[in-house]
Structure formats: structure tokens, C-alpha cells
Amino acid sequence: MERPNPIHGEDASAGAETGQDHAAADEAAEAGVLEPLADYPHIDLRAGGEPWDKRRAAGKRLREVVDHAAHAALDLPADRPDPVDLIAGAHEGRQPELVPLRVARMASSPFAFLRGAAHVMAWDLAHSPRSEIMVVMNGDAHISNFGLFGTPQGDVVLDLNDFDEVTIGPWEWDLKRLVASIEVAAREDGVPADQRRQAVMAAVGGYQHTMLDLAPQGSLDVWQQATRADELDFSGVRIDEASQAVVRKAVEKARKKNNQSLLARVGERRVDGGWRFREDAPILTRVDDDTRESVITGLEHYAETLLCGNSDQDVLFLQVKEAVRPAHAPYLPGMPEPYASHEGERVIYGQRLL
């Protein structure tokens, strides 16, 4: 942003006001350029969009306020809350009988604790430097929430999973949670500090280069940039043969997972020829009659929108979840209405955008 020329004498105050007006106008324009997509679907077809190079220039100007190096430091205030208190607060709205299981899992290792401690990291991130470029963020983009998944077209792709914490927030919060998880997982695995740093820097560098590559592309081109497992190319990546073998083994394992294999693992045949889930307490238990009727009623309405199969080969698995307030909600404005007032709508809307 250009500075106004210095003005002397009687016109100094008027010149200063003019400079402030221009600065305010520039800031307002910049805010409009960097406005997140999630403010739509309130679309104004009479207003033109901003080209990517203008948005990029506006983003680069923000480095004058918060440069890249500022993100490396985490100078937290002395009144940082007890992490245990934050986690206890996060249990509000959850099924109480499953809370001990969640706590036991978190206590099993440092990485397991990180996975379940999105609320703890949210507080830290909210008290760290940020660029103020707001996007639709996953909110829990640690490394174990990336995996290999099957598509309706039969491909196996590397993609993101678990959107319970999705909201509008600073773009770098997802990246920081990702690289923090890489560091903690590698440390738990006994990886030396210098190699852990290389892994973190490689992830950040990969993100940066990919963003530069995708930014000028059209939306359909970006949509088609899925990372397909059968197209993995290690030629440009420093990865040894043993690690490549691990990746390929994971891909082949993913290919073998499908509806039929899951049915055989978690289901059992009823005497009337139908199927039911095999009880696996405390993770999978029977519900009471009222809950059962509510679920079946809801599924009947949903089934009216589907084509029904005619055998076990057409089995469809649905996971019904009750979403609670996202971990970052206390520190961010949140989703626009009507998605802000219904946690389920928030999750689905955010997942579709991501």
C-alpha cells in the first residue's frame, strides 16, 4: 500500500485526512478481495469477481503486518488455561458413557492426546499471530485425518476425513495443526530432531508450492487435481525404497476395503435373512426402542431418495452423528446463517466446500 506524500503548512491536516480516507478505502477493498467463499450462496451476479493475481497481491501486502517468520514463535500469555479444563469443557454435549473411553484413548500416547485435544490447540492458535485471511477451515487437519478413500468411480484417492470442527477461520490454522501432528507423531516414533524438522518443512513447502500452482487455475481444473493412488509419483520426492513400499502396501490394503468386506467384519446375519451390526461394547451397543424407532423413521424418509439394491452386494453403510460446537467457535465469528444455528448443517456445508 503506497504512503501519501508528506504535506507541510496549513494543508497538513486536510492532507492527513485524505491519506486516511485512501487507506481506509484500500483496507475495505482488500477485505472484499480476501472475503471467504463461505459468505455465499448470497451471490450478486451484477458484481464482478476479483482476479487471482489481485487477490494474491492483497495477501502479500498483509505480510507487512504479519510476516512468515512471526508464525514460528508461540509466545503464549501467562494465563493459559489448564489443558485438562479445556478438554473437560469439550465433553459437553457428548454421550457421557463414552467420555471415559475417549479419555483413555487420549491418555495412551502423546499423539493420541494431540488428536483429541483440538480445543487445547484452538486456544493456543487463537493467541498466536495470524494473517486474518479467513477461509473455510477443517479445524482438525492432523495427519491421521488424511487417508486413502474409494470414490464412486472406483478410484482410490488421498483425501481429508472428519469435518466435525469445520468453520471459518485463518487459513494457517489447519496447516499448523497438520505440521504439529507430523512433529508429534515423528517424535513418538523416535525420529531424530533434524529429520522431524525436515518433515515439517517439507509439508509447509509442499503446501506453498501447491497453492502457487493451483491459484491461477480454473475451478474445474482444481476439482480434477485429486491425488489418485494409482498415479502416485515418487520421482520428485526424496523418499527411500522402504518407505515407498509402505505407501504401496497401504494403497493395496485400501483397495481391498469395500462395503462387502466391512459387512463381513461388523455385521451378522439375522434369522429372517437380514443383517444387523454385531455388538461391540462399549463402542457399538444396542439403542433403546424409542431411539430405534426414531432412527428407522429418519432412514425411511432418506431411503425414498435412493435407488434400492437387490442383494448383499448393494449394502450401504451410513454413519449418523450428532455434531457439537466446533473447537474454534469461541475465537471466531463462525459460519454464516443458516448454517451457524445448526451444527449438522455447518458440518455438511463446510465439508461440501472443502
At a CB cut-off of 8 Å and minimum separation 6, what does 247 contact?
232, 239
CA torsion sign, 168 to 172 to 175 to 179? Answer: negative
Alpha-carbon distance of 261 to 85, in angstroms, equals 41
pLDDT reported for residue 310: 81
pLDDT reported for residue 18: 43
Alpha helices in 215-280 (DSSP H): 219-223, 241-255, 259-266
| Helices 118-126 and 83-90: angle between axes, nearest 10 degrees | 120
Write down the domain spans for the chain: 1-51, 66-256, 259-314
Collapsed DSSP state (helix, strand, coil) of residue 9:
helix
280 and 267 in contact (C-beta within 8 Å)? no
End-to-end CA distance of the chain: 31
Q: Which three cell numbers stand for residue 289?
A: 426402542
In 10 A of CB 345, how many CB atoms? Answer: 15
Q: Report which of 308, 315, 354 is spatially closest to residue 335, judged by C-alpha positions.
A: 354
Q: What is the separation of C-alpha 223 from the centre of its chain, rounded to a whole number of angstroms? A: 17
Q: Which three cell numbers stand for residue 163?
A: 469435518
In this structure, which long-range contacts are made by residues 227-230, counting pairs with CB atoms below 8 Å and at least 24 apart in sequence? 227/157, 227/158, 227/159, 228/155, 228/156, 228/157, 229/148, 229/155, 229/156, 229/157, 229/158, 229/254, 229/255, 230/155, 230/156
185 and 143 in contact (C-beta within 8 Å)? yes
pLDDT reported for residue 233: 64
Element (H, E) at 229: none
pLDDT reported for residue 3: 33
Alpha-carbon distance of 285 to 107, in angstroms, equals 23
pLDDT reported for residue 149: 86
Q: Which three cell numbers stand for residue 183?
A: 512433529
pLDDT reported for residue 11: 38
Successive 10-residue mean pLDDT values, the chain, 354 residues: 34 41 52 51 71 84 87 88 94 89 95 96 94 91 92 84 94 96 97 95 91 86 79 67 87 84 89 89 89 88 83 82 90 87 91 89
Alpha-carbon distance of 107 to 123, in angstroms, equals 20
pLDDT reported for residue 35: 57
| pTM, two decimal places | 0.81
> Can you count the helices (H) and strands (E) in the chain?
13, 7
Alpha-carbon distance of 116 to 84, in angstroms, equals 11
Strands 146-150 and 134-137, sheet pairing: unpaired
**What's the CA angle centered on 320, arms 316 and 325, to 5 degrees?**
150
